Chain A
Amino acid sequence: AQSVTQLGSHVSVSEGALVLLRCNYSSSVPPYLFWYVQYPNQGLQLLLKYTTGATLVKGINGFEAEFKKSETSFHLTKPSAHMSDAAEYFCAVSNQGGKLIFGQGTELYVKP
């Protein structure tokens, strides 16, 4: 069985500060890992994904994430937060069969 744990349901940062959203996963097979973003009253948009190859993956809007197998982690980072980054972020794992299992989400607040 697969599962995802996002540490912190709410994260608050100041504009210009580092963004770090934590995600740990559990999977019995090599996982595919994803981060999605959801803006208010909208659907989910893919930020980035890891399938195979380079463990540091870059996504849209300046976000990146690093797959660390030894730590079963896939934390999302951005060097400098912008007000427009305020949204809910979801980490997800797939067993390569197409089915995505999502974490509970982390609401990111950006203070001016």
Chain B
Amino acid sequence: DAGVIQSPRHEVTEMGQEVTLRCKPISGHDYLFWYRQTMMRGLELLIYFNNNVPIDDSGMPEDRFSAKMPNASFSTLKIQPSEPRDSAVYFCASTDRTTGGNTIYFGEGSWLTVV
């Protein structure tokens, strides 16, 4: 079975540009999470969705960040405008609470560098 699929795997962009990260969760999973990993702050939960509805976005750092889940098989995390401090690895993850035993499966990450 395909796991969580993220794109792009690597992106280098200039400060001020818009960045869009994409995620395809595992088919049938009803929860989707966006995490950010940095050396300074470790793994932070940014936002999560249940059945395509945002449940908790308290981890979104500021208004420059937005996330959407238009359907069960696709989500985006957008940063506009991007800043150097946004450089991090962004992970998408998904789970199925009813049958998945609360195991959250992670994608390989999107490595973002803002210069």
Q: Are B97 and A98 in contact (CB under 8 A)?
A: yes
Q: Write out the residue numbers on chain A whose beta carbons fall within 8 Å of the beta carbon of B56.
A: 99
Q: What's the Cα separation between A51 and B97 when bound, in Å?
A: 12
B95 lies within 8 A of chain A by Cβ: yes
Q: Are B45 and A100 in contact (CB under 8 A)?
A: yes
Query: Contact flags (1/0) for B30-72 with A, using CB distance below 8 Å?
Result: 0101000000001101001010000010000000000000000
Q: Are A49 and B106 in contact (CB under 8 A)?
A: no
Q: Are A99 and B48 in contact (CB under 8 A)?
A: yes
User: In the complex, what residue of chain A is closest to B43 when comparing beta carbons?
Assistant: A102
Q: What's the Cα separation between A100 and B42 when bound, in Å?
A: 13
Q: Are A96 and B109 in contact (CB under 8 A)?
A: no
User: In the complex, what residue of chain B is closest to A101 when comparing beta carbons?
Assistant: B45
Closest Cβ of chain B to A105, distance in Å, is: 6
Q: Write out the residue numbers on chain B whose beta carbons fall within 8 Å of the beta carbon of A36.
A: 106
Q: Are A98 and B42 in contact (CB under 8 A)?
A: no
Q: What's the Cα separation between A96 and B101 when bound, in Å?
A: 9
Segment at the B interface, from A14-22, A39-47, A66-74:
A39-47
Q: Are B43 and A99 in contact (CB under 8 A)?
A: no
User: In the complex, what residue of chain A is closest to B59 when comparing beta carbons?
Assistant: A99
User: In the complex, what residue of chain B is closest to A94 when comparing beta carbons?
Assistant: B102
Interface hits, A19-63 → B, CB 8 Å: 32, 34, 36, 42-46, 49, 51
Q: What's the Cα separation between A51 and B43 when bound, in Å?
A: 22
Known interface pairs A43-B106, A44-B106, A90-B43. Does A100 touch B33 (Cβ–Cβ under 8 Å)? Answer: yes
B104 lies within 8 A of chain A by Cβ: yes
Q: Are B103 and A99 in contact (CB under 8 A)?
A: no
Q: Write out the residue numbers on chain A whose beta carbons fall within 8 Å of the beta carbon of B95.
A: 98
11 A/B residue pairs, CB under 8 Å, sorted by A = A42-B109, A43-B106, A46-B105, A49-B103, A51-B101, A100-B33, A100-B93, A102-B42, A103-B42, A104-B42, A105-B42
Interface positions of B (Cβ within 8 A of A)? 31, 33, 42-43, 45, 48, 50, 56, 91, 93, 95, 97, 101-109
Interface positions of A (Cβ within 8 A of B)? 32, 34, 36, 42-46, 49, 51, 90, 94, 96, 98-105
